[in-house]
Structure 1
Amino acid sequence: MFHRRLSILSFRMRSPLRDAETDRSRSERLIRFVDEIAAEVTAERSGLAVRYREACISAGFASDAAGTTVSVEREERLAELSATIIACERRLTTLGRHLQLLAEAKADIGQMMPEIARTEPTSISGD
């Protein structure tokens, strides 16, 4: 009975080496996860940027054409393209902020585990 009471008052810790390995493993998984999400955001941003440029070009042509002849159909198309361009700009801004947040998270992980940050080749850019 006395031995059981003593065991309640003490406990054993894992070795610092084992804790370090656990921390390293978790940090590596977290960095891989951040990189995967960043790749998804980058792919979305790239595809959207192409559609954005196409909408800007179409809007330019529609605007030039509207200057020569007035057409309700052209005006509606121009208004639609303008709305699309504005929505694209907002989304591109949001995606840039997402990439910035992911880059900051990766940097924070790197500060906690500098040896991992030095070995990870990928970079994240919100530009």
Structure 2
Amino acid sequence: MAFGFRTRNPARDSQTDAARFGRLTTMLDELLEELEAESTGLQARYQRVADNAAFSLEEFENEQAEALSERTDELTASLIACSNRLVSLQKQAAFLRRLRDEVVDFRPA
């Protein structure tokens, strides 16, 4: 008794693979867009806080030290947290770009 093993058409396999890798590439592109949008918004907020801190420093120097000391500390903490998040987003984006490049290079023709 002979048993045969049937495989799918290679063209169909290629289409399936291309669709799968296409979805993966699209998902990575969407994640990169999300990171870019978050980074852009965060950079704008960072700039507003930095401007606010500069004005606070100017007022601090003009003898209104006590009231602004706490505010300056808050602004400094915000700038540090924001800066750390921006670095994290840059690292994530770099990783996703490398991953996307690998997917494109690996994807069957």
Q: How many residues align?
A: 109
Supply the distance in 1 between the matched residues of 2:34 and 2:41 (Cα, whole angstroms). 11
> What letter matches 1:74 in structure 2?
L
> What letter matches 1:89 in structure 2?
S
Match of residue 24 from structure 1: 18
2:91 paired with 1:97: yes
Structure 1 window deviating more from structure 2 (47-56 vs 70-79): it is: 70-79
How much identity, in percent, do the aligned residues show? 32
Higher relative contact order (CA closer than 8 Å, sequence separation 6+)? 2
Do the aligned partners of residues 96 and 114 (structure 1) sit closer, same or farther apart at CA in structure 2, a change above 3 Å counting? Answer: farther
Supply the distance in 2 between the matched residues of 1:60 and 1:114 (Cα, whole angstroms). 54
RMSD of aligned alpha carbons:
1.6
Supply the distance in 1 between the matched residues of 2:80 and 2:47 (Cα, whole angstroms). 12
> Which of 32, 35, 41 is equivalent to 1:41?
35
TM-score normalised over the length of structure 2? 0.91
CA contact (8 A) 2:60 2:69 kept: yes
Query: Structure 1: any 5+ residue segments left out of the alignment?
Result: 116-127
